[in-house]
Amino acid sequence: MTRSSVSIVDYGIGNLKSVENMLVRAGADVVFARTADDVMQADRLILPGVGAFDSCRRALGQVVGLESALHQAIGRGTPLLGICVGMQLLASSSDEGVLPGLGIIPGRVRRLSLEGLASGRPLRVPHMGWSSVEPVGLATLFRNGLDSVNRFYFVHSYYFDCENAEDTAGVAHYGVRFAAAVEHGNVYGVQFHPEKSHRYGMRLLRNFADLTVEAAND
């Protein structure tokens, strides 16, 4: 069996090296998709993202043809995983910015509220630290053990509020119960950083690298 190839979308945003390091550790071959053509030829796509929603959205828009290539690749079944702001970009819109999202998974990105309480103490935003994620629904990426024990590293001030409950693949709590993972056909998103989440993150990326176009279409 050949090693799975995963393409990280490089649109000038994010710490791609950490994602690459963890994918290699998970046994995948890593390439970088820097053009629309690269995206069209990818077996699997990872869409990273850090920082502000609009700056990610703008950077993505600056690569010629990238947005339509992403839509086309998804349309023909290529598995795609958005990480952190890369996940938020899949939404329709965000409280954080004025630019529209890619509108791939219906929903709005909302700000975590400081009003929530954890053990009687005020919460600080961003939510920075480890949380466990309770898989719900299909939770394809949480197979092979992650459905019983897991912990993932989060750094975020916003969360994905899915319009359709069935698109939520995992929930975590931080003041609110929020979608820590989404899944819609062959499109996946995680709010946390699997590349920085020890063996749990490695397993999740391995699960993603094991997906194929055929499996996504079944």
Partner 1 sequence: MIDGPVEFNPFRVIPCLQVSNGRLVKTTGYRNPSYVGDLINSLRIFNEKEVDEIAVIDVSATREGRAPDLGMIREMAGECFMPLAYGGGITSLAQIEQIVSLGVEKVILNTAAFASPDLITQAAALVGGQSVVVSVDVKKRWLGGYGVYTHSGTKRVPLALPEAIDAVVQAGAGELLLSEISLDGTLQGYNHALIKSVSSRTTIPVIASGGASGIADMVKAVRESGAAAVAAGAFFVYRGPHRAVLLSYPNARDVWAHITETGG
CB neighbours (10 Å) of residue 91? 27
- Residues 56, 84, 156, 183: which is the catalytic one? 84
Q: Which stretch binds partner 1 (CB under 8 A): 36-44, 137-145, 150-158, 208-216?
A: 150-158
Interface residue with partner 1 among 35, 72, 93, 132 (CB under 8 A) is 132
Residue 88 binds partner 1 (CB under 8 A)? no
Q: Is 162 a catalytic residue?
A: no
Q: Is 173 a catalytic residue?
A: no
| Interatomic CA distance for residues 112 and 102, integer angstroms | 21
Determine contact, residues 48/90, Cβ cutoff 8 Å.
no
SS3 42: coil
- State the nearest-atom distance from the C-beta of 197 to partner 1, in Å: 8
SS3 218: coil
Residue 202 binds partner 1 (CB under 8 A)? yes
Tokens at residue 66, please? 């990238």
Residue 34 binds partner 1 (CB under 8 A)? no
Residue 134 binds partner 1 (CB under 8 A)? no
- Cα–Cα separations (whole angstroms), residue 44 to 5, 13, 70, 101, 141: 7, 19, 11, 21, 14
CB neighbours (10 Å) of residue 158? 25
When the beta carbons of 49 and 101 are compared against partner 1, the nearer one is 49
Interface residue with partner 1 among 71, 111, 177, 198 (CB under 8 A) is 198
Under rule CB under 8 A, how many of the chain's residues touch partner 1?
32
Write down how long the chain is. Answer: 218
| Interatomic CA distance for residues 116 and 122, integer angstroms | 7
When the beta carbons of 34 and 138 are compared against partner 1, the nearer one is 34
Q: Which residues lie near partner 1 (CB under 8 A)? A: 15-18, 20-22, 25, 50-52, 114, 119, 124-126, 128-130, 132, 149, 151, 153, 155, 193, 195-199, 201-202
